[in-house]
Structure 1
Amino acid sequence: MKTFFTAAAFCAAAASASASTLSGSELFEGTFVFDNDLETIGFELTSDALFTATSYGYSGGTSLMGDTITGGGFDTIFTLFDSDGRILVRDDDGGIGFDSMISMFLGAGTYSLVISQFSNDVIGSYLANGYEQDGLGGLSFTTVHGCSQGGFCDVDADNRTGNWAVELSAELSLPAVPVPASLPLMLAGLAGFGVMRRKKK
């Protein structure tokens, strides 16, 4: 399943808090218009899970669901926040090339993954603080890298596009089956019975 987003105002995205339940894998794609655009993807985990977020926008690739993504997009930063808007983890180039990747165990709850372009980082430790390149001054902040177009330049001065593609996946943890309290005693008793039987032979 593909979900498409256009670049939207960050505050509106954060306020909507439309976190859908994440189970299995889901691919999200969209396009930034300005260098300092942000995209927020809210999701909910119904139980403990191994959560993975993988960017394909810069280098391209094939998603877990078999979707082919064309590269050429910008250098991403992932920042994962908990339900209180507090940073859990940030990643810049943990994926292939300049793509981001996060993989970690998370408990049941609601989370937000914010996508930004390098080097537009959150200020401090909370989402409510905003981002370093917010405002008119950050609309084309990557032009300092020296590419020939008016934005979406990587640190190697290569021209990139505003396209991004992110796959989220969750491998839910199965609850442990409780062991009856009497089972260890019963097994020990059976073991003792076996020893007694062997001694009688």
Structure 2
Amino acid sequence: MAYSDRSKKIKSEPDQKAKGCSSDSFRLGLITPLAKKINCLDVKRIAEICIHEIPKLIGAKLASLYILDESSDILHLEKNNHPFPINNIVSLNQNPPSPMVAAVRSKELLIIDDVESHKAPNIDNTQRFFSQNYQTKACIIAPLICHGQVVGALNMSDKKDGAAFTKDDIAVVELFRQLIGASIGNVSLFEKTQQQAKTDGL
């Protein structure tokens, strides 16, 4: 009987590995085309992908995309899918800072499994408006980086089944925050070039 149980266990391990490989392949199959779609000069298209497609990769229900106006240090809401109101503008100079502002200032990905007990970085004194509207306490705040500078932020929360975000989820977000940041940075550069061309033409 013991031998039989051991055989069943040994047989199940390859099955679990195969299942994991299948899941990874499926996710990779979704990531590759999205990465190509994000590489464009259309902010609206980028925003659509950020709100409606990337969250599906990590099982998040809610998402919001903010783009930074570097001249005023204000984050402007570009798009979101929240069923309740959220801030349209967020100043990086607010004190105490909200979790998003704290993440943007640090330029580091902020993963919060439980916003009430989170310790590092310390957000105990930060502002958490609308926290009662969320179904779970977990969220990911991803500063979008282009050439070492923040150009915006992508927030995702309410993971399905109330689970915490996994290492695989975090790896996906880390990849896309760089790709999205590069695309938004390219859009900004393109718009500045166009504006300069118009000015020179006058």
Task: State the TM bucket, normalised to the shorter chain.
Answer: under 0.3
Q: Which has the larger radius of gyration?
A: 1
Give the structure with the higher percent strand.
1
For normalisation by structure 2, the TM-score amounts to 0.26
Looking at both structures, which has the greater relative contact order when contacts are Cα pairs under 8 Å and sequence separation is at least 6? 1
Give the structure with the higher percent helix.
2
